[in-house]
Structure 1
Amino acid sequence: MDFSRRRFLAGSAALTAPLALAACGGFAPAGSQPSQQAGTLSFTTWGTDAELAGLRDVIARFQQANAGTTINLNAVPYEQMFSNIDAQIQAGNPPDVFRVPYYTFGSYAGAGQLLDLTPHLPAGFADRFTPQAWAAVQNAGKPYGVPHHTDTSVILYNKTLLDAAGVTSVPTEVGQAWTWPQLLDVAGKLRSSLPGSKFPMAYNWQGNGVTRWLSLLFQADGRFLGEDLKTPAIDSDAGRAAIDFSKRFFTDKLVPANDSVKSTTYAADTWYSQTAAMVWGGAFMVPDADKTADFEWGTTFAPRNVRAGSDFGGNALVATAKAKDPALAAKFLDFVTESESMKSFCTAASLLPTRADLVENGISFTVRPETTPVFLGQAAQVRASDSGQVASPVMSKIITVFKDQLEQAFVGGQSTEATIAGLTKGIAAATGAQ
């Protein structure tokens, strides 16, 4: 059966069954590791069909280029991924290499569970990546992973519903993206045009996707961590502006009541059902939207305020501190991020590259290639200072703080000042800055 990619929106998806890596070193069931031999690496990941196909391809080419090496791919459901990894690390038998979201990377690096790649990577290795991508895999100034790909949220829109509301053009250049007031004006037109059962927008901040709310904070030119990546910085005019702006989504009935942070209804599903005219969504939605959306749709840029800003999504590849062959693991990570490897993976899987040359020269998605420039242009708005905060070793704790406080702000009637105070206190507790 086809795998629906929208299930990754809240960071809690599952494959229908583990997939074997045919002719590429075999398969290990979830929660176990194959016996290690010289020249062998174990690699644990989750992924969509397209992502796993891309990984199979790069593994096959790596094995062909390095005679005698074997990469054992262990594909597991996302919902089991990190409980398995944590149990294996605890037992002293982790995989050599695994895939990890940037917002989870810091917890492993900060706990000393990942391999410091500094002595194993070739000279000038950092230069191949964009600054924001390289910043996302740093801990204490050292690389503990490689940025495999990124993703970011743009606005996907239902053209029929926008046309009916008199919104007949959308920004086609990132520098012309709607400002916050312009977005509210567009949403107001949609609100007047749509029946009460339908809504102008849906925001993809459900579950761990709450990190996508940070796009609004960055657009206000704010931070949630200070320069030391420890001191809370949300108590600012920018922090208040971002909270006030996003609270209007609910008070003005621009999003459904069930579009809150802790909702079990994904924003994408609201859009697919045509309950919402616009949705914030990542590039990984493109293949699913191409197959699922039975209406004419397009993409435009996320809004801007003081500056443009966006979420830094995607995943890194890391080697564990107890990798059996650190040099081989690093060599594999080097190979995976070579230009040909990254380009073929990203174009087929509808994901965004982290290599500066591919960003500069552009890629083209296999599915709906006309959407590629919008996602690339949006991703370029991420700053290294933004992605560096998300790589905090305690980001998982900070995510919980944002979930609790923003839920109260959006649907619990909590004031902006109380939300700022709650965020500040929670972030300080998470970082130890109290």
Structure 2
Amino acid sequence: MDLNRRNFLTGSLGAATMMGLAACSSVHSNSADSTTSSSSAAVGAAGSSTTAAPSTTAASGSGVTPSSSAPSSAVAVKGDISFSFWGGSTGETAGFNHAKKMFESANPGTTINLKIVPYDGFFAGIDRGIQAGNAPDIFRVDYTTIGKYSGKGVLLDVSPYFDAAEIDAFLPALWEGIKYDGVPYGVPHQTDTTCIVYSKAAFETAGITSVPTTLASAWSWEEFSAVATKLRASLPDKKFPFAYDWTQAGAFRWLSWLYQAGGTLLTPDLKKVALPSAAATEAMDYTKSFFTNKWTPDSATIKTSQYSDNFFLSQIVPMSFIGDFLVPELADPKSGYKGEWGATYMPQHKAAASDLGGNAIVARKDTKNPELAAAFLKFLVSEDIMKYFCEQAIELPTLKSLASADLKYAYRPDVVKICAEQASTISDTIVKESTVGSFASINTVLQDQLELAFHGKSSADTISAIASGVTSALGS
């Protein structure tokens, strides 16, 4: 499948400002999974297209480069390092296990100790480990959180380990996303974004006969409201039209509605908040109506314990906003969605927009073996290893060579195609605002204030409180 559709590689705004940079955490309903599995367990969908393990040719040696066209001298490395990541899908776990196996095979005398922990509380654990001096050598971090660590000077500067050709192998905006004050910390590992999944049977029952099949024909807010209204009329009281993926750390995904309304969170210089605004009021009023119109379950707010995919899997809702990394969970023949389901694009209003999705891998500045840590970081973003990971995890690659390649996704390549197209709606403004160093604090403000808004706080008071909180975050 060609991921270059809708200018995925360079974007309508140019390569340096394109949606390639995605920056949200892979929050899963199964994030508490702490079982390490073999790579073969990643492929289980009936009739799915699978890939063989990548060859060791392009991935041999500790000095593996992000692209075979950008060679680098191998450096002999030995020793043990720890790598911590939140328990994601089976495909993600298999991808990391495969990378560990291949790296250790190519570098005798090395051991990568994988530690899988739940997403909830993941960064609190990292923080405690940093303070105590026993944090993992390497850990996963979403782009909206990386500034929290790079800004405090606790991450390894990787600039000595990448030459210009190796840096150029990445989608430019993604490489910019791991930089702080011009210095790169870590590697951009993968990207993802939000799309809509829906029950075909429920749509048929509700009389919804037309679903957008191109990005250009995505529903307007008015059309989306009409779809939700039809679903509401066809469903029993205990079921609801849809759930949105703004749970917990995903609160920042609300900003997609602000951008769709033509607004921004920050001023162009990223130094001040751009609220209040007419666009913010429109976005707040519209999203609050999800609850007053009974389109969304009352419990599907920011601080709920359930994620949007849970509501869909349990068939409380026939439509849900999800990240493409959840496709394996929905497509699983044993525990996935029961019934035929399809996917379509995010609604659009004055503009089309989606959220930044994806994660970087970083190393601690005080790791006892920086050469080994850097070598493993480079290995994770080597072409064959990244290709295998993305195919199994159903996520989008960060290398130019793979962004335009035909990846054989293990599950529902038709849905990945939609997500790749949707990613082209992530503008330069979205990229810049979502990667400011204080964005983790800003996201906490959004969690607190949106929760109150969806429980009755007025739009005006909510926007004022968000503006005040963001101003404080920017000044911290």
Query: Would you say the 8 A contact 1:18–1:77 is kept in 2?
Result: no
CA distance in 2, matches of 1:266, 1:170: 24
1:15 aligns with 2:55: no
Structure 1 residue 392: deviation in Å? 2.7
TM-score by length of 2: 0.80
Percent sequence identity is 41
d(CA) in 2 for partners of 1:238, 1:358:
37
Counterpart of 2:19?
Answer: none
Supply the distance in 1 between the matched residues of 2:87 and 2:428 (Cα, whole angstroms): 26
Deviations 1:73-111 (A, max 9, x none): 233333453333222211234332111122221111111
2:36, 2:97 within 8 Å by CA — same for their partners in 1? no
Q: Tell me what 2:87 maps to.
A: 47
Q: Does 1:92 align with 2:133?
A: yes
2:452 aligned partner, one-letter code: Q
Post-superposition shift, 1:222? 2.5
Change (3 A) 1:198 1:281: same
- The residue type equivalent to 1:424 in the other structure is A
Q: What stretches of structure 1 move > 4 A for 4+ residues in a row?
A: 16-21
Counterpart residue identity of residue 368, structure 1: R
- 2:439 corresponds to: 395
In 1, Cα distance between equivalents of 2:381 and 2:275:
35
Q: 2:458 aligns with which of 411, 415, 419?
A: 415
Q: Is the 8 A contact 2:36 2:93 kept in 1?
A: no
Residue 165 of structure 2 corresponds to 124
Task: Give the equivalent residue in structure 2 for 1:306.
Answer: 350
Structure 2 residues without counterparts, runs of 5 or longer: 1-24, 40-76
Residue 427 (structure 1) aligned with residue 470 (structure 2): yes
The residue type paired with residue 249 of structure 1 is: F
Matches of 2:225 and 2:123 in 1, distance apart?
Answer: 39
CA distance in 2, matches of 1:380, 1:361: 17
Determine the structure 1 residue equivalent to 2:426.
Answer: 382
Aligned residue pairs: how many? 411
Matching of residue 320 in structure 1 with residue 364 in structure 2: yes
Which residue identity lines up with residue 138 of structure 1 in the other structure? K
Higher relative contact order (CA 8 A, sep 6+): 2
Deviation at 1:364, TM superposition (A): 3.6
The match for 2:385 is: 341
Q: Which residue of 2 aligns with 1:34?
A: none
Distance in 2 separating the partners of 1:75 and 1:208? 19
Cα gap change, 1:17 to 1:332, in 2 (>3 Å): closer
Measure the CA separation in 1 of the matches of 2:300 and 2:240: 11
- Residue equivalent to 1:27: none
Q: How far did 1:344 drift? A: 0.6
The residue identity in structure 2 corresponding to 1:407 is E
Give secondary structure in 1 for the equivalent of 2:469.
helix
Contact kept in structure 2, 1:135 and 1:387, CA below 8 Å: no
Consecutive unaligned residues of structure 1, counting only runs of 5 or more, are: 1-6, 22-36
Kindly indicate whether the alpha-carbon contact (under 8 Å) linking 1:41 and 1:71 is maintained by their aligned counterparts in 2: yes
* CA separation of 1:8 and 1:175: change in aligned 2, threshold 3 A: same
TM-score calculated relative to the size of structure 1: 0.87
1:67 positional shift: 4.3
Provide the rounded CA distance (Å) in 2 between the counterparts of 1:424 and 1:11: 31
**Is 1:215 aligned to residue 259 of structure 2?**
no
Q: Is the 8 A contact 1:286 1:367 kept in 2?
A: yes
Q: Which amino acid aligns with 1:14?
A: A
* TM-align CA RMSD: 2.5
Cα gap change, 1:76 to 1:20, in 2 (>3 Å): farther
Within the candidate set 270, 274, 288, 1:233 is matched to 274
2:159 matched to 1:141? no
In 2: Cα distance, 1:64 partner to 1:16 partner: 24
Residues 10-409 of structure 1: pairs in structure 2 closer than 5 A? 13-17=31-35, 38-48=78-88, 49-79=90-120, 81-291=122-332, 292-409=336-453
User: What SS does the corresponding residue of 1:114 show, helix, strand or coil?
Assistant: coil
Q: Which moved more, 1:115-124 or 1:69-78?
A: 69-78
Distance 1:303 1:350, change over 3 A: same
